[in-house]
């Protein structure tokens, strides 16, 4: 997906009309519509918020409010893959801060940011529900247990192959 999908104008951008057509024109379907837009565009483009508001017959401010309330929704493009570093108690005690620091250095970004090439976004979470594997990093649906700073480079290399 080209970066120009910010304006939804590029022919290769996802079809917003098709996404909206899947959701009835009622505010009750607002979150579902935004989740679909997030999945298709990897963020909620400004123009999409305007179109959703018109489709649902609600103020743009309400769409903006929902789009900024949920952590799963983002107003800026997310990476093709999201790297989640668990900072819960079990992971923290077993070295998660060092793993996070290694990831920040390797990717050149802080949690909440996306790499320049759009390959990865970095996030921290409180518990991934796999404390026995602590410290845990999740790349999309793939868990990496017993992570160490030394394993960060090979993990990213493996995931980057699939991300491009």
Interface with ligand FES (CB under 6 A): 86, 88-91, 127-131, 134, 136
First to last CA, the chain: 12
Smallest distance, ligand FES to C-beta of residue 68, A: 27
| Length of the chain, in residues | 164
Please, which residue, 134 or 152, has the CB nearer to ligand FES?
Answer: 134
Closest CA to 153 of 83, 80, 86, 94: 83
Q: How far is CA 142 from CA 28, 44, 82, 130, in A?
A: 32, 25, 10, 12
> Minimum CB separation from ligand FES for residue 100, in Å?
12
Taking a C-beta distance cutoff of 8 angstroms, is the pair 13, 4 a contact? yes
Given the complex with ligand FES, which of 106 and 136 has the nearer CB atom?
136
Of 13 and 90, which has the nearer Cβ to ligand FES? 90
56: which 2 tokens?
A: 């649902």
Q: Which helix (H) or strand (E) holds 30?
A: helix 30-41
Residue 91, CB-side half-sphere exposure with 13 Å CA sphere: 29
Q: Are 137 and 98 in contact (CB under 8 A)?
A: no
Residue 83 CB, nearest distance to ligand FES (Å)?
14
Q: Which residue is nearest to ligand FES (CB)?
A: 88
Residue 99 beta carbon to ligand FES: minimum distance, rounded to whole angstroms: 11
Please identify, using beta-carbon distances, which residue of 24 and 129 lies nearer to ligand FES: 129
138, 100 Cβ separation under 8 angstroms:
no
Which CB sits closer to ligand FES, 20 or 139?
Answer: 139
Smallest distance, Å, CB 147 to ligand FES? 10
């Amino acid at each position: 997906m080209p970066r120009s999908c910010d304006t939804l104008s590029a022919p290769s951008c996802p079809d917003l009309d098709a996404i909206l057509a899947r959701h009835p024109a009622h505010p009750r379907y607002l979150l579902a519509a935004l989740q679909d837009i997030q999945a298709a565009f990897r963020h909620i483009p400004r123009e999409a918020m305007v179109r959703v508001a018109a489709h649902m017959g609600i103020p743009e401010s309400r769409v903006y409010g929902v789009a900024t309330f949920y952590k799963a929704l983002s107003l800026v493009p997310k990476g093709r893959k999201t790297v989640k570093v668990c900072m819960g108690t079990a992971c923290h005690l077993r070295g998660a801060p060092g793993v996070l620091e290694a990831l920040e250095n390797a990717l050149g970004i802080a949690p909440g940011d996306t790499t320049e090439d759009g390959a990865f976004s970095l996030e921290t979470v409180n518990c991934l529900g796999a404390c026995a594997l602590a410290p845990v990093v999740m790349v999309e649906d793939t868990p990496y247990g017993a992570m160490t700073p030394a394993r960060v480079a090979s993990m990213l290399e493996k995931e980057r192959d699939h991300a491009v």
